[in-house]
Amino acid sequence: MDLGERLYALRKSKNLTQDEVAEKLKVTRQTISKWETNQSTPDFDKIVPLCELFEIGVEELLTGKKPEEVQEEQENNEEKVLTKQEVKEKSAKVVSSSIFIYIVAIAFLMIAIPVQHANPIVATSVFLLLIGWATTRMIKNYMSMPKFEKTKEEKKQEKVIKQINGIIGSICVAIYFIVSFTTMAWHITWIIFIIDGLICQAVKLIFMLKGDEEDE
């Protein structure tokens, strides 16, 4: 419904004639007719008198939305502002569940082909889908996480995590080459790097949960 149709409907709802509206607004009947047929629009100084005459707000007059509809729309559009603690708890849930998906994917691949004799292509496809799903969840979590100013303790904790993960990474690389050259199973030993990522995420999760306990 456009403005003209809205003005017509409002006038009819009040059982007013164009002459009566024109008299109250101190304009001609032809002016009211032009407003209602969209040949012209009300001047700015006539907006408030129109709202008072029809007992509505400016928003409802111009857009047709009632106050409660506007409020509901605003509430739906407002994003909930999460506290730092709530963000950490949400992140911990995403990371822990993603780690579980990683474990399931690795266990599936280790059992499906050698034990269940599943089709290698199908088994690998399922494995990659699970890994991709878990990775996407964590990336989305870290990308959407609001930024908070880090405390000295958190900066220190982050430094320790990087050092631990660096050591784990070096060990995993060494294991990868030793196992690969020993078994020549290059087609499967790359899983060690996924395990490396899994352990690194587990370390982050442990420190995250430790931080939550200290905050409490």
- CATH code: domain of residue 12: 1.10.260.40
* Same domain flag for 32 and 110: no
Residue 32 confidence (pLDDT) above 90: yes
Mean pLDDT of the 143-172 span: 82
Out of 50-59, 70-79, 82-91, 141-150, which region has the weakest mean confidence (pLDDT)? Answer: 70-79
* Same domain flag for 126 and 180: yes
Residue 212 confidence (pLDDT) above 80: no
Residue 187 confidence (pLDDT) above 80: no
Highest mean pLDDT among 9-13, 102-106, 143-147 belongs to 9-13
* Same domain flag for 29 and 44: yes
- In contact, 32 and 8? CB cutoff 8 Å: no
Mean pLDDT of the 47-65 span: 86
* Same domain flag for 181 and 136: yes
- In contact, 67 and 57? CB cutoff 8 Å: yes
Question: In the prediction, which pLDDT does 81 show?
Answer: 57
Number of domains within the chain: 2
Mean pLDDT of the 56-64 span: 83
* Same domain flag for 136 and 49: no
Task: Quickly state the pLDDT bin for 69 (edges 50, 70, 90).
Answer: low
Question: In the prediction, which pLDDT does 129 show?
Answer: 92
* Interior angle at CA 143, CA 140 and CA 145, nearest 5: 105
| Domain enclosing residue 35, as ranges | 3-77
* Same domain flag for 135 and 176: yes
* Same domain flag for 111 and 14: no
Question: In the prediction, which pLDDT does 82 show?
Answer: 62
Question: In the prediction, which pLDDT does 214 show?
Answer: 54
Task: Quickly state the pLDDT bin for 17 (edges 50, 70, 90).
Answer: very high
Amino acid letter for position 102: Y
* Same domain flag for 188 and 107: yes
Question: Who's near 169: CB < 8 A, 6+ residues apart?
Answer: 196, 200
* Same domain flag for 20 and 61: yes
The pTM of the whole model exceeds 0.95: no
* Same domain flag for 12 and 42: yes
- In contact, 61 and 47? CB cutoff 8 Å: yes
Residue carrying the six token digits 């020549």: 184
Highest mean pLDDT among 87-96, 147-156, 167-176, 196-205 belongs to 167-176
CA distance 38 to 29: 14
* Same domain flag for 121 and 169: yes
- In contact, 36 and 8? CB cutoff 8 Å: yes
* Same domain flag for 66 and 91: no
